[in-house]
Amino acid sequence: MLTLPTMSQVIAWFGWGHGVGALAGISAILTVVVIVAPVIAGLLLYGLERAQVELIGQVNRDFAYFFVNFVTFPGTFVHEMAHLCFGVITGAEVTEICMFESGHGQLGHICYRSRGPWFMRAVQRALIGVAPTVVGFALGYYLLRLIFSGAFSGLACVGLWYLVISLIDHSTMSDSDLEGYFQGVWIFILPLFLLFFGLGYF
């Protein structure tokens, strides 16, 4: 079971004390970490995807790209559904849904229009952009727990690993996802900072 450290433990790790200045510095660092973590996670997944291409490409390069792009189509479905769900939850207007396509360099897409007050539009852009990575990591973690629990074997275990690989290949943020994320994520900077500062102060 994955457990996160408490704020007191984090403060102790830094060893800066409990003064206001120390708490502010630690809170600022944690805020930056939370904001860039999905991007770093996406880059890690992209690296794993490229490693697959290189490995399978030793046998056949065309099949390597076919495998990563199309054989792992459940990952594409999860990617687009993550966009869709976060769009609906945050109140954006979803204008087009395509779960699978093979042209224009895309495997699927969701089109939406942000709406509402300016701060809600920022929230929509950030959360819709980061959705595939957040959902992909959450589902991947759950599937890995199932695999290593020993409750499944044989074909069931193979199927679970197939789903994990599919998530690895399609849980990164596209260029447009990253653009939307950075257009809106600034709205979370102050709330995150105040949250961490409050957890450490009180």
Residue ranges of domains in the chain? 7-201
pLDDT tens-place string over residues 30-87: 999 999 999 999 888 888 888 888 999 898 888 888 888 888 889 989 999 999 999 9
Q: Look at the chain and count its residues.
A: 202
Q: 105 pLDDT exceeds 60? A: no
pLDDT tens-place string over residues 167-196: 988 998 888 899 999 999 999 999 999 999
Tell me how far apart the terminal alpha carbons of the chain are, to the nearest angstrom: 27
Rounded to whole angstroms, how far apart are CA atoms 70 and 172?
16
- Other CB atoms within 10 Å distance of the CB of residue 72: 20
Q: 119 pLDDT exceeds 90? A: yes
Structure confidence at residue 103 (pLDDT):
58
CA 133 to chain CA centroid, Å, is 2
Per DSSP, which regions of 7-158 are E strands? 93-98, 109-113
H-type helices in 91-187, by residue range?
Answer: 118-148, 155-170, 175-184
CA 63 to chain CA centroid, Å, is 27
Beta strand pairing call for 93-98 and 109-113: antiparallel
